[in-house]
Amino acid sequence: MAEKFDAIVIGAGIIGACTGFELAKRGYKVLNVDKLPEAGHGSTSGSCAIIRLHYSTPDGVAMAREGYYYWIDWPKYLGAVDESGLVKYINTGCLVIKTEKNHYLKNVMTSLDELNVPYKDYSPTELQEFLSILDVKGFGPPVASNNERFGTPTKESIAGAIYVPESGLISDPKQSTHNVQRAAEAIGGKFMFKAEVAEIRKKDNQVVGITLKNGDEIDAPIVINVAGPHSFIINRMAGVEGDMNIKTRPLRQEVCHVSAPEGFDYNNLGTIISDGDVGCYSRPEVGNNILIGSEDPECDTMEYIDDPDNYNTNFTEQWTTQVLREAQRIKGLKIPRQPSGLVDLYDCSDDWIPIYDKSSLNGFYMAVGTSGNQFKNAPVVGALMAELIKAVESGHDHDKEPVQFAMKYTKRNCNIGFYSRLRKINPNSSFSVIG
């Protein structure tokens, strides 16, 4: 006889765990299932766990600002003890370089102003005083490493930058998910690991449960797809891709781990840097190191993956390219002989904006296309998904009249329809990890 739950969450990464937690807080009997052995073991563990507030729209800033308040109030959000310890929010600040492509941050500054997020507008000269190891020459727009002008300055200086002091990172993204797991379990939530979903069962266009690869059946009238890079596979199992204007697919990414310039205390004096001029973002890492990721400039080839269980996990020339780009900005940054860091997958939507929505199958919901820049929003997304599910299951027609989600800290309403599967591709997206 199949075990029964009110809701099944497919995925136990940070967003899946938060969704299960928020449903449990609302009285649902919830089960999170994951094919991996532990919570946060998939793409969440590969996240740079950056908490940043700069977006080009007020709604984008509001969502990030809301999430920021959850992270700085983490123990109270959880309301439970984790025997292995709680993660810490580490405030580093964030420097965002002005470029022609980001309209010299005019929209970003206007949006930050609307949410009363403080920032400092720096000239190139002030930047060097702020962070002495910065080279303020302009190198953009980014080009491939085999381009003859790679590494050659194109301008005497960049246009400047803004510094957002209320930005930082989470000490351990995988552990943050374990924290949420323990909080959910404390109020009745269940987690099942090494449990691969083989079938989404349905009857008369209503989801009725899942079947695992080992043949076990678990019944529930609500199933939420939060499967990260495997989300497109789950959607196909459910047969819901037909009416989706926006779909998702896995994208391979490399993140570089290098030593900070010798003699400079980067852990205490460094900051997150979002640098469209060189096409990279970076952040301080424990041990006076720096993590470097790509902002996916147009000159780079996007490597989408057909099988998220079978892709190249070795470093490629992209690793060297990213470190060389960052070395244009950070003086004294050395290129190691032996690459280190990580290779992982993002779950990307067609316009890099996530899908938080119901589907054409009654009872089947999606929180997908979230990799790359949604880690910071995970606690908010969990609450948003729980409110969406509650409304739709009560008979609300979300496709005709989108549910409005009230954010408790910023006191703003979020129109969940913005994240609809039925939307047209948003031309204002950066089509990159920037969102």
The pLDDT of residue 435: 63
Strand 94-97 and strand 272-275: the pairing is parallel
CATH class of the 89-168+252-344 domain in this structure: alpha beta
User: What digits encode the pLDDT tens for the residues 232-252?
Assistant: 999 999 999 999 999 999 999
The pLDDT of residue 427: 76
Q: Is the pTM of this model over 0.85?
A: yes
Residues of the chain with pLDDT under 70: 1-2, 430-433, 435
The pLDDT of residue 239: 98
User: What digits encode the pLDDT tens for the residues 265-312?
Assistant: 999 999 999 999 999 999 999 999 999 999 999 999 999 999 999 999
Tokens of 245: 């204007």
The pLDDT of residue 372: 74
Give the closest residue to 324 by CA, choosing from 303, 346, 339: 339
Q: What does each C-alpha distance from 67 to 6, 74, 173, 251, 376 come to in angstroms?
A: 27, 10, 15, 25, 6
The pLDDT of residue 373: 83
| Fold classification of 3-84+172-247+351-419 (topology level) | FAD/NAD(P)-binding domain (3.50.50)
Tokens of 254: 């490399």
User: What digits encode the pLDDT tens for the residues 384-408?
Assistant: 999 999 999 999 999 999 999 999 9
The pLDDT of residue 297: 94
The pLDDT of residue 371: 80
What are the boundaries of each domain within the chain? 3-84+172-247+351-419, 89-168+252-344
Q: What does each C-alpha distance from 192 to 83, 131, 366 come to in angstroms?
A: 19, 47, 19
Contact 129, 267 (CB under 8 A): no
